[in-house]
Structure 1
Amino acid sequence: MADDREHIKGLTHLGNKETRYIFDYDPSLLETFENPNPHRDTFVKFNCPEFTSLCPITGQPDFATIYISYVPDRLMVESKSLKLYLFSFRNHGGFHEDCVNKIADDLIRLLDPKYLEVWGKFTPRGGISIDPYVNYGKKGTKWEAIAEDRLAHHDMYPEKVDNR
């Protein structure tokens, strides 16, 4: 068993019974572990339906589902640390587009993934919903072209939205 868990050494949030929730944006909460299957491309998707941040102008809360998908290279993000990181946006004043880009930038910096995309589906305020999407493909790899193609065709056939 110890050999199977070698790739997750150093994680501090997972299994911790005294979890502290940070209410101000803090990318240092993110933790990684070694990809146990680096020989295979794996598309990992997180659905985060309870994301909140604050409008930087009015201070009103904004609610969203954040979808994070990535193809890891050497490192993977630990899901509890991702949950705590996303929770840290609770009192962060940022426009929807900025929050999505900040999440992407932090994860790219942390993981150096082959591919990553972040899609925020924010609930409407004032009768308008905003759904920013950003992606990244590692330069010089097939994932760079895949990112360009996915961005060019993103949301060409939007799904029916009936939950907001």
Structure 2
Amino acid sequence: MRENDNLKALGRQTEYRDDYAPEVLETFENKHPGNDYWVRFNCPEFTSLCPITGQPDFAEIRISYLPDRRMVESKSLKLYLFSFRNHGDFHEDCVNVIMKDLIRLMDPKYIEVTGIFTPRGGISIYPYANYGRPDTKYEKLAEHRLQQHDL
């Protein structure tokens, strides 16, 4: 059996969800868990809804992580991010929810998520959240990246 036989989204007709759907996320085995290397995703067409006004918010979502044993499958990630389209949450909440869902899914060594939201009312918001596995060098990496954070 090939590993991708277990994947539900990849190579099949796309079903788009109407609201927040973390259950669409899928993983596959990292073939190099002993190596530290970056995996980066950029989603320049992220949308969510303002929970107060219901107006759409647009952003570029950047996800960077150091995988351990499991990695997120990219089509499932796309479908997951798309599921925020009709979901009402503040910018900061979206970024933190995305990060926490990916931590639960993969248990990465390190992860960071940035939201570069387009201006509304003349102001832009760029929330950033990160996580490093506790009691490891990745926790120190998270502390350092947070202290040095700048777009």
- Look up the equivalent residue of 2:149 and give its one-letter code: H
Q: Cα distance, 1:38 vs. partner?
A: 1.1
Q: Which has the larger radius of gyration?
A: 1
Supply the distance in 2 between the matched residues of 1:153 and 1:23 (Cα, whole angstroms): 37
The 4+ residue runs of structure 1 with deviation greater than 2 A are: none
- Evaluate the alpha carbon distance shift between residue 83 and residue 42 of structure 1 in structure 2; reply closer, same or farther with a 3 A threshold: same
Match of 1:36 among 31, 34, 39: 31
Does residue 1:141 correspond to 2:136, yes or no? yes
More helix by share: 2
2:126 equivalent in structure 1: 131
TM-score (norm 1): 0.90
Instruction: Report SS of the residue matched to 1:28.
Output: helix
- Evaluate the alpha carbon distance shift between residue 99 and residue 40 of structure 1 in structure 2; reply closer, same or farther with a 3 A threshold: same
Match of 1:10 among 6, 14, 18: 6
**What do the CA deviations read for 1:8-46 (whole angstroms, capped 9, x no partner)?**
441010011x21000200100100000011121110000
- Superposition pairs of residues 15-164 of structure 1, within 5 angstroms: 15-16=11-12, 18-155=13-150, 158=151
Instruction: Report SS of the residue matched to 2:84.
Output: coil
Contact 1:9 1:33 (8 Å CA) reproduced? no
Supply the distance in 2 between the matched residues of 1:11 and 1:141 (Cα, whole angstroms): 31
Supply the distance in 2 between the matched residues of 1:45 and 1:143 (Cα, whole angstroms): 17
Consecutive unaligned residues in structure 1, runs of 5 or more: 159-164
